[in-house]
Amino acid sequence: MSNPPVPSHEPDPEEPHGEPDLEQMLQSFLSNPDNPQLQQALSAMGIDKLDPATMGMLTAQVKAMFSGGSSDPFDPAMATNIARQTVSAAGDATVGEVARRQAEEAVSVAELWLDPVTDFAASSTVARAWSRAEWVEQTMPVWQRLVEPVAAGVSNAIVQAMRSQLGEAGGTVPGLPPGMDPSAMLGQMEPMLTRMSSSMFSAQAGQAIGALAGDLLTGTEVGLPLVPGQAIALLPANIAAFAEGLEVEESEVRIYLAVREAARVRLFAEVPWLASQLVEAVQAYARDISFDMAGIEEAMQQIDPADPEAMQEALGSRLFSPEPSAAQQAALTRLETYLALVEGWVDVVTEQATRPHLPHAAALVESVRRRRASGGPAERLFSQLVGLELRPRRLRDAANLWAALEASGGATARDAAWAHPDVAPTAADLDDPLGFVERSRSHGEGDDMDAALEAMLREGGTGGPAAGPAGEDR
């Protein structure tokens, strides 16, 4: 059976629709004498002189690379795989039955201790003992929502930088056929650049999330609603490593951390607006992120398309170093305030729940504070990736505010401050916690008076004694 005829290709630098002739561009690039390393590599592989059929197949592959595949700026499957590889490289054993049973027992005790110290009831408690890889898989959907705006910004920055470089280059790009306008290539290159950006960002995100998985002790320790289904998740391997540096039994450490996690899960479950506000604050921060375009353009000039690793290294050092804008700083302040309020509330409630029961509760409080203050490589890596700090900067101020509310009106007054985002403490309230307590108390007294008046009016409207001046004899 004879081979089908190979279609001929005229040396027209432009196709009928105004797009560059990729085959001519590739032929010119591969035979460019200004790139001797490429010529030597092709010669060593025996393909220094490509026949028309091979060139046609190569052109088809390049076109597929330019136009095929998803254009999403973030690839959660790739990020998950990279994160799993990261935790596997550091060691990640499967959680055994004993560890699972210990986690369930710790969570059961935690729920019992929390009931008397907060008005927030336990939801349908689901205790989980996860390996690091399991935490990665379970939390990736929320990570995707958090980082997609940043990924989109990275993709746009790369395309804009390439557009600027090609526009300035004119017809001087080595390896292109004479007279071909480099800017005409951009329409075909943009999908490839988007996928390249997606791959780089997804890999970087996977590394960061994998590193976090190696550090975190519980499912939502960073203060974000990462765990689905209101599960209370512990990471036994990380807890064991944390307990090794303390003069406290691992079982006591486990229960203390279970109380913290159970308190945080109760808060997210009983305050439905909180989780969405936290996620929206991260997304608002990410949407307003700005990049050092001069640095990105410089990186694009240095990129060797034949060296993907060098490409990722050259771009990575600049793409993930955003310059905060005014809008971004405002979003960051809002996010840090929410994180501080969450962790401050958890601190106060956990202290109330554990102090009567755990002999080393005070020491564990201090250990967690030191851990949070010092941070770690995982937090620094995530800060480089998304450009924000996961540690609440004003934690002590928030804890003082919640403690003052509790001293004024008990757990009910403290927890009532979460009733609505309009009445929740703000960054300004952290500067004046006693003023916030006074305003909350006045607001509460006003609510009590309104309720009493409403009851009296209802009573008067049903034939009972009239209330106020309207019932007086004249």
Cα gap 13→178, rounded to integer Å: 8
Which residues in the chain show pLDDT less than 50? 1-20, 29, 35, 37-38, 42, 44-47, 171, 320, 446, 448-453, 456, 461-474
Angle between helices 186-215 and 132-169 (to 10 degrees): 150
- The amino acid at residue 43 is S
What pLDDT is recorded for position 14?
A: 40
What pLDDT is recorded for position 205?
A: 87
What pLDDT is recorded for position 19?
A: 44
Greatest alpha-carbon span in the chain: 116
Q: Could you tell me which of 379, 410, 277 has the C-alpha nearest to residue 338?
A: 277
Cα gap 222→389, rounded to integer Å: 10
Would you call 51 helix, strand, or coil by DSSP? coil
What length does the chain have? 474
- Reading the block at residue 52, the tokens are 């028309």
Cα gap 117→351, rounded to integer Å: 10
Question: pTM to 2 decimals?
Answer: 0.75
Q: What is the distance in angstroms between the CA of the first residue and the CA of the last residue of the chain?
A: 116
What pLDDT is recorded for position 466?
A: 39
- Reading the block at residue 154, the tokens are 């990275």
Torsion sign, CA atoms 217, 221, 222, 227: positive
Q: What is the pLDDT of residues 146-188, one digit of tens each?
A: 888 888 877 777 777 777 766 655 545 555 555 556 666 666 6
Cα gap 217→376, rounded to integer Å: 13
Q: What is the pLDDT of residues 214-256, one digit of tens each?
A: 999 999 999 999 999 889 999 999 999 999 989 999 999 999 9
The structural domains of the chain, with segments of one domain joined by +, span 22-67, 76-386, 395-460
Q: Could you tell me which of 398, 387, 414 has the C-alpha nearest to residue 331?
A: 387
What pLDDT is recorded for position 47?
A: 47
Element (H, E) at 275: helix 272-287
Phi-psi region of 69 (alpha: psi -120 to 50; beta: other; left: phi over 0): left
